[in-house]
Amino acid sequence: MKTGILALQGSFHEHAETLKLLHRDFIFVKNIDDLEDINSLILPGGESTAMLKIQEHTDLFQKLESLIKSGIPTLGTCAGLILLSGQNIQGTNTINALDCIVERNGYGRQNQSFEAEVHFEDFTADYCFIRAPKIISYSDDVKPIAYQDSDVVGLRRDNIVGLTYHPELTNDNNYLNWLDSFLKKDSNVGSF
């Protein structure tokens, strides 16, 4: 079994390098056929509107939503979190698998990107926020799991984790250990 990495646009190569460090098989997901034989999924950072536009005449995001809701471990970083959220972006619906509202570029534009200390579950590390979305609200069944100062920057619901930042750019040991465990142990988390 493999981890699928959405590869329409964005930092999918960086996530592949992370999975190589974990000695985990992966496939770049560009169409529905690439979803066969995957047991986990990563939605990378990048430009959410571009990703939505690229796939708009396919059923890829509907298939991703179904797969995610079936219970496979799913990680969305930055734009990946936007795709997981329940929003409409410039007339196109997102995957709508994580009940939250985020503000695109919530911390500012490209030149306002920054690194900051994040408290993520049981560890703390510095991570990159690049045109990061800001979490505005989330439902009661969604749990905050990461904080930057007083801002919630990571959410989890069952088998789905969404982060506003880019842990794949630093690949510190704490993150690698967490990701390895998340992808392996949560493979049977359950469906909605």
- 81-101, pLDDT tens digit by residue? 999 998 767 667 788 899 999
- For 103-154, the pLDDT digits (tens) are 887 676 777 777 899 999 899 999 999 889 999 999 999 999 999 999 999 9
**Confidence at residue 106, expressed as pLDDT on a 0 to 100 scale:** 66
Which residues are identified as catalytic?
A: 78, 166, 168
Provide the residue type at 9 as one letter.
Q
pTM comes to 0.91
**Confidence at residue 88, expressed as pLDDT on a 0 to 100 scale:** 66
Please report how many Cα atoms fall inside a 13 Å half-sphere around the Cα of residue 150, on the Cβ side. 0
Q: What mean pLDDT do residues 56-64 have? A: 88
Q: What mean pLDDT do residues 66-86 have? A: 94
**Confidence at residue 54, expressed as pLDDT on a 0 to 100 scale:** 83
**Confidence at residue 94, expressed as pLDDT on a 0 to 100 scale:** 83
Domains of the chain in sequence order: 2-188 (3.40.50.880)
Query: Is-contact 6 29, C-beta < 8 A?
Result: yes
**Residue pointed to by tokens 């992370």:** 18
Largest CA distance in the chain: 42
9 vs 3, 81, 132, CA distance in Å? 17, 14, 16
Cα distance between residue 24 and residue 112, in whole Å: 34
State the DSSP code for 86.
S
Cα distance between residue 12 and residue 6, in whole Å: 7
